[in-house]
Structure 1
Amino acid sequence: MKHDVRYIAEHVLPGRGLRPFNLDAKAITRIYQKIFELEGYQRYSTRKHHQWLYNYLFEQTESWAAPRPLFDAAIEYLAFNKIAIPAYSTLQKIISQVLVQHQKTVHNKLALECSDGLSEMLVNLLLGEQSFTLQHLRQSARNFTGTELEKELAVYHHLHPWINDVTRVLESLSLSQANLHYYAGRVDYYGAKLKRQNPLNQQLYLLSYLQGRYQQCLERIADGFIHHIRQVKARAKAMAKEQIYQDWQKAARNVGKAADVLELFLDDDIAPETRFQTIQAQAFNVLSAQDLSSVCRYLGNQKQSADEAFWQHLDRESSLRTGLLRSLFCCLRIEGADPTQRLARVLDQARLDLTANHKLSGSCLDRRLPPKHTRPLLLNKDGSINKARYEWFLYLQVPDRLHGQLLLPDVIKYRALDADLVSTQRWKREKKTLVEATLQPKLMVEPSSLIPKMATELSLRLHEVSHYLEKTDDRDVILKNKGGKRQWRLPTGNKQQLVNNTFFEQMHSVEIADVLRVVDRDTGFIDDFEHVLGMSSKSRMFEVDLLAILIANATNQGIYGIAEISDRSYEQLRTIQANYLRLETLNAANDRINNATAKLPIFKHYYI
């Protein structure tokens, strides 16, 4: 308060100044009350506002039951209702009460919903006395090799019988995705020390982890299936081209032997009553049936069909089809959009047949699915469908149709968009409540009045920017006024400048990690990456790993990709990412960098 009064005396009402003085509590209260009246705010009152704030924060725990998000929600609620922010100790007390009550509510529901069989499975998983333990569950595939994908298949077969019960219990708890992710992260953090938690916490953490691990497992199984299908398809195409070339060359070399075969028909020593099979056998002794067929195509100037060679190579990949690919395919439930309903039904029936009988039944052999040019290649000599090739045909349809035509409802990455949206019935029923819960004023305004206002503001802003650019001497930006429309762009002279404009050539290239270190030196943004459990430490041993994780995610390589090309281990990066990299820590670090950038003298020139 003293500093505020002194600032007003020096800058707003200059004069003789004020002698040092102290304000008593009543004076401070009157001044604050006057400020609140001028700004339309009201002072926080425990008797009047405590219960409202408590109820609101308790509702917010359904979205994210963590201290920092609840604190942000409290600030937003108070600002929206124009209530002055109370002491932090008051907010801390309310948030603690809310979290305790939320935990009690979740524990009570969990104790009622979790069946004895499911509880026993969780206990056995944690104790590690069965063949499949928590350690096996935490081991994930590091790549798409068969050995690594076997880990995911083992996880799938262990969790699949229980996943419906797990989903039912978690749905009864009404936990959001943020809460599920938060609780699941505790399993990775505690590890073997999870046994020290109370039983209800153990069940809550494990159930959340099992659902997330099951979804992760299915996603890796789907990605592995797609990876191997695309690889075998590429191999088959390459081998088909090579086989056609080799067949053509071999036929050219066998033309001389073909002449020997033709001489059999001119041999006078062969008796007229000799059976044709005898002559045919003699011909095959000179040249095999396959080689003779290739010579015939050569003489007729007809190369072997690339499609035929393609399917012949797939025939030789039968061990891959009946082994890894079939195991992966049987884990994937497939649905189709309107144009692919028939294909989706056949794929689902094939999955059921292969799971139950390890072979396709006649009900899934639909002759109408393959294109006309492919159908003859899927038939046996007697006209029946070759089940092995038909299975390959079904597998080959999946990868290129997973972008809207075919859906994997159990895999987040490949399911329908509306699966992540509020249902139409709930939206019609609770639209007003859902919109008001966001506390976003623009969402509460009708689009018919909001959009014209925003368009006007955008037009004014564009004119301001254009006026600024016209008045400044910026040789690196040029104006094009064509047809009454203003367009700003960098000047380009030739193709070389299009690749690297002279404006950018003035800047020396530096490593991204060095840039991050300089920014951290000036802002200290790495300090905002706090441990998930709030553990504080002055040591920054994780700094190098965290920089690697930030670069890996920013460049879309992921921590596995960065681990492959650096000296950092995947497990170490995964642990650091789980403990320190969260939405709230990213927001805090980003805010710190933005605030520091806004204080730079060049910012007013940069922000055009």
Structure 2
Amino acid sequence: MSRNKRLSILTAAEVEDLYGVPSFNESYQRFYFTLNDKELAEISRIRQRKYRCVAIALLGYFKCKPVLLNPRYKSMQDDLAFIARFHYRDLTFRRFSLKPDQKSRIYARVLSIVDVRNWNDKRHQPQLVEHLCTCAESWVEPRALFDAAIEYLARQKIAIPAYSTLQKIVSQVIGQHQKRLYDQIDAACSQGLSTMLLTLVSGEGQFTFQQLRQSARNFTGTELQKEIAVHHHIQPWMTDVTTVLESLSLSQKNQQHYAERVDYYGAKLKRQSLANQRLYLLCYLQSRHQQGLERIAEGFIHHLRQVKQRAHQMAQERVYRDWQKAARNVSKATDILHLFVDDSIDPDTSFQAVQQRAFQFLNVSDLNSVCRYLSNQKQSAEEAFWQHLDTESTLRAGLLRSLFCCLRFDGTDKTRRLAGALAQARLDLVAGNRLGDVSIDQRLLPKATRPLLSKPDGSIDKSKYEWFLYLQIPNRLNGQLTLPEVIRYRALEDDLVKPEIWKNQKGSLVEGTQQPNISEDPKRLIPRMADELTLRLHEVSHYLERSDTRDVILRPKDGKHHWRLPTASKKHLVNNPFFQQMKAVSIADVLRVVDRDTGFIDDFQHVLGLSSKSRQYEVDLLAILIANATNQGIYGIAQISDCTYEQLSTIQANYLRLETLNASNDRINNATTRLSIFKHYNIQEDILHASADGQKFEAKRETFRTRYSSKYFGTSKGVSAVSLNANHMAINARVIGANEHESHYIFDLLMNNSTEIVPDMLSTDTHGVNHVNFALLDLFGYRFAPRYAQVGRVINELFNITEDKNQQVHISLR
């Protein structure tokens, strides 16, 4: 493979960092160039002391990174001088160069000392390719495969080969993986599906590629109709699409990767090969279908909650107005009562005639309200609630019904009857746009609600019954009802490995995780963890008995134990005088210094892959980063600088993307970890403690993720940014809706962390806790240590606290 056709995996700085001679300060020189007895004995077998110094230097370099280097004398000069002083105090030598055979013999000794094998193409490449092909089934991105190759070589104790060798291997693996996918698509894709995909890309059909990519920006009916239109177009093909994708056995990560290619290329997807077009579109259709269903479900729930809130509000107002009006109409009721003592009325007059005269004073509704007033019985708010829903019939028969017909519900044992009624109602509405008699299950109606839904003849009002079914859904999507096709609302079992796959592939799946806790037999793991917990509770009980403890306070009161954390009064906060010595500098100057040391600006690649070494847009990129980070926007920054809005807008569209932001952020984080001061920020020695928390931000643009939250945004909308931080470094982040629970994204933040900073322990606030995270994070090697707002309540819920006859505290699990 020619140099210009090689797959680009690492940046130039990363290549230099991995394959360049490391730069050691004196403390690192002392650490890496100190020899143990075995190493000293092996090095001493070299005759000339200058070559011994070279061997010690190469051994130290190899300990730092397992790569066979080809350093020049100048790059080793400082290290050789240190080694000569440290090991051979009287040694002096002039500049010299190593011959290839000399370097090979020295590296042979180095490899024997560290018990590592040198790379051999014939022996090691087939095994590495096989391993990477397995890894590609999970994640086919080149950098992920490169990292997997480095990890494999480390486990097998094989020296890392040349960068070009790994480039060829990764390219070969990706090529084999894609060829397998192309062949399987050719075999599994029907003629009709292939034609639909081609028509979609070409734009010759009634439903265009642009319409497919358009998604709802908010919950208005007009925007949700876009999602309904997309759903109706792709739903007939989803069975075929799912069948093809299941035959490909794509992981969620790979499927997401290929689906994102459609948005990445946009209209330029036509320029891709036919095989790539079909692969990308199949994955995109699956992703778009799931996204559409999730937004349809969110829109359905949103409008139901809105109409329920309006109905309750209007019911309360109607009851109040009805009561006030009845009080005003009491005087008219006396005229009606006079009819019963009026001598001018013929005794033979029919009652209907008397009624008609009474209705001249008050109509039927007002007369009923006066009767309730006189008997001190207000109109039922529930009755007014259902009366208001009759006025919302347009919404029910229009948008809500269209959204409901797109959704499929499953129930648990307690909600199986409700799920059956919803399924039957969906069939009737799809077929005839009205409920049939078979859809009405009166067993679902509470005794108090049944009269409110009944007609005068005793039958159930189908319109109100349809409202009743809809209103059962939102509050039961907590697990009582599930949407199997919507990721957010499907059952936990749907996220697990299918039983038949687990039964047949359990060994390989467990081994593939490379997690000790998952690989261990549960029959041994659970008792061992229980013993560790019992021992820990015993230690904590003794700790709480110590008189000098100030971390947790136990207050016995009325025979009960109340736990709380000690709180200190707030003192007047002032800046540390140390910081007053520092000179204030602009943010742009800080970014320039960071770029000088890390080169993060180079990660902002052009969207079309155009490369330029001139960095002519460096100043504009810095302005764009500051504008967006300070929530000013490029329009605001253009008003106060010499940069035009058009120029900034073009550069932002070409260079600022999620992948470029991630790459530059990772580079800064990785460079920070190599600073000697980084480890001094650790709270505990040799333990990297991270934290995750959400921060609310008001949004200027309305998107489907923005939500109202009066507590944080007032009358505006906003989002929540959940960030994962370690030693004050933001290593990962996820933007979620302000109404979403942060705990659902904790595991994703950790597992999708692409930096070299790997936390050992994670803390969150109460919003980061759920019933799954403790076990899930523990199985994957993380320690979960949440910070509870009400620690006393949590302790009482989880543990039993007792005292023996010596008044010693004993804690046990409930």
The residue type paired with residue 670 of structure 2 is D
2:172 corresponds to:
97
Structure-1 separation of matches of 2:379 and 2:530 = 68
CA shift at 1:34, angstroms? 2.2
SS for the counterpart of 1:162 is helix
Matched, 1:438 2:513: yes
Structure-2 separation of matches of 1:575 and 1:134 = 24
Matched, 1:73 2:148: yes
- Residue by residue over 1:11-33, the C-alpha shift from the partner in whole angstroms, topping out at 9 and shown as x without a partner, is 45544344332222222222222
Matched, 1:51 2:130: no
Alpha-carbon spacing, 1:383–1:226, altered in 2? closer, same or farther (3 Å) = same
Structure-2 separation of matches of 1:166 and 1:67 = 26
Structure-2 separation of matches of 1:193 and 1:34 = 55
Alpha-carbon spacing, 1:175–1:545, altered in 2? closer, same or farther (3 Å) = farther
Kept in 2, the 8 Å contact 1:549–1:577? The answer is: no
CA shift at 1:220, angstroms? 0.3
CA shift at 1:277, angstroms? 0.9
2:263 corresponds to:
188
- Residue by residue over 1:456-498, the C-alpha shift from the partner in whole angstroms, topping out at 9 and shown as x without a partner, is 9x98xx99xx9xxxxxxxxxxx944768xxxxx997344xx3x
Matched, 1:522 2:594: yes
Kept in 1, the 8 Å contact 2:318–2:384? The answer is: yes
Kept in 1, the 8 Å contact 2:312–2:385? The answer is: yes
2:429 corresponds to:
354
1:126 corresponds to:
201
Identity of aligned residues (%): 52
The residue type paired with residue 313 of structure 1 is H
The residue type paired with residue 591 of structure 1 is N
Matched, 1:411 2:486: yes
Matched, 1:369 2:444: yes
Structure-2 separation of matches of 1:492 and 1:49 = 60
Structure-1 separation of matches of 2:683 and 2:479 = 46
The residue type paired with residue 172 of structure 1 is S
2:800 corresponds to:
none
Matched, 1:580 2:660: yes
Matched, 1:174 2:249: yes
Structure-1 separation of matches of 2:660 and 2:88 = 49
1:561 corresponds to:
none
Alpha-carbon spacing, 1:420–1:601, altered in 2? closer, same or farther (3 Å) = closer
Kept in 1, the 8 Å contact 2:551–2:565? The answer is: no
Matched, 1:285 2:372: no
Structure-2 separation of matches of 1:301 and 1:505 = 66
Structure-2 separation of matches of 1:586 and 1:414 = 32
**Mean CA deviation greater in 165-174 or 538-547:** 538-547
The residue type paired with residue 304 of structure 1 is Q
1:472 corresponds to:
none
The residue type paired with residue 227 of structure 1 is H
Alpha-carbon spacing, 1:37–1:243, altered in 2? closer, same or farther (3 Å) = same
Structure-1 separation of matches of 2:471 and 2:423 = 15
Structure-2 separation of matches of 1:202 and 1:247 = 64
Matched, 1:314 2:386: no
Matched, 1:302 2:377: yes
Greater relative contact order (Cα < 8 A, sep 6+) = 1
Structure-1 separation of matches of 2:607 and 2:158 = 30
2:497 corresponds to:
422
Higher share in strand: 2
The residue type paired with residue 599 of structure 1 is I
Matched, 1:161 2:236: yes
Matched, 1:335 2:413: no
1:591 corresponds to:
670
**Mean CA deviation greater in 330-339 or 16-25:** 16-25
- Residue by residue over 1:93-148, the C-alpha shift from the partner in whole angstroms, topping out at 9 and shown as x without a partner, is 11111112222221111112111111111111112122210111111100000000
2:191 corresponds to:
116
Structure-2 separation of matches of 1:335 and 1:392 = 19
CA shift at 1:5, angstroms? 3.9
Kept in 2, the 8 Å contact 1:184–1:209? The answer is: yes
Higher share in helix: 1
2:723 corresponds to:
none
Kept in 2, the 8 Å contact 1:334–1:348? The answer is: yes
Structure-1 separation of matches of 2:86 and 2:532 = 38
1:482-561 aligned at under 5 Å gives the runs 492-494=567-569, 497=570, 521-522=593-594, 524=598, 528=603, 536=611, 538=615, 539=617
Structure-2 separation of matches of 1:491 and 1:519 = 41
CA shift at 1:588, angstroms? 5.0
Alpha-carbon spacing, 1:449–1:323, altered in 2? closer, same or farther (3 Å) = closer
- Residue by residue over 1:290-344, the C-alpha shift from the partner in whole angstroms, topping out at 9 and shown as x without a partner, is 0010011111111000100110011110110000000000000000122111111
TM-score with structure 1 length normalisation? 0.83
TM-score with structure 2 length normalisation? 0.63
Kept in 1, the 8 Å contact 2:601–2:664? The answer is: no
The residue type paired with residue 473 of structure 2 is V
Structure-2 separation of matches of 1:430 and 1:18 = 62
CA shift at 1:57, angstroms? 1.1
Matched, 1:217 2:217: no
1:260 corresponds to:
335
Count residues with an aligned counterpart.
Answer: 560
Structure-2 separation of matches of 1:198 and 1:132 = 22
Kept in 2, the 8 Å contact 1:379–1:386? The answer is: yes
SS for the counterpart of 1:43 is coil
Structure-1 separation of matches of 2:357 and 2:351 = 10
Kept in 2, the 8 Å contact 1:119–1:203? The answer is: yes
The residue type paired with residue 22 of structure 1 is S
Match of 2:157 among 82, 92, 105: 82
- Residue by residue over 1:510-562, the C-alpha shift from the partner in whole angstroms, topping out at 9 and shown as x without a partner, is xxxx989957853655655667886656445566777788899xxxxxxxxxx
CA shift at 1:219, angstroms? 0.4
Structure-1 separation of matches of 2:454 and 2:510 = 58
Kept in 2, the 8 Å contact 1:531–1:579? The answer is: no
SS for the counterpart of 2:377 is coil
Alpha-carbon spacing, 1:529–1:128, altered in 2? closer, same or farther (3 Å) = same
The residue type paired with residue 331 of structure 2 is G
SS for the counterpart of 1:338 is coil
The residue type paired with residue 314 of structure 2 is M
Alpha-carbon spacing, 1:482–1:310, altered in 2? closer, same or farther (3 Å) = closer
Structure-2 separation of matches of 1:443 and 1:531 = 42
**Mean CA deviation greater in 89-98 or 35-44:** 35-44
Alpha-carbon spacing, 1:118–1:519, altered in 2? closer, same or farther (3 Å) = same
The residue type paired with residue 166 of structure 2 is L
CA shift at 1:48, angstroms? 0.6
Structure-1 separation of matches of 2:489 and 2:459 = 34
Alpha-carbon spacing, 1:533–1:80, altered in 2? closer, same or farther (3 Å) = farther
CA shift at 1:593, angstroms? 4.1
Kept in 1, the 8 Å contact 2:372–2:378? The answer is: yes
CA shift at 1:382, angstroms? 1.1
CA shift at 1:276, angstroms? 0.9
Structure-2 separation of matches of 1:303 and 1:78 = 80
The residue type paired with residue 156 of structure 1 is H
Matched, 1:392 2:471: no
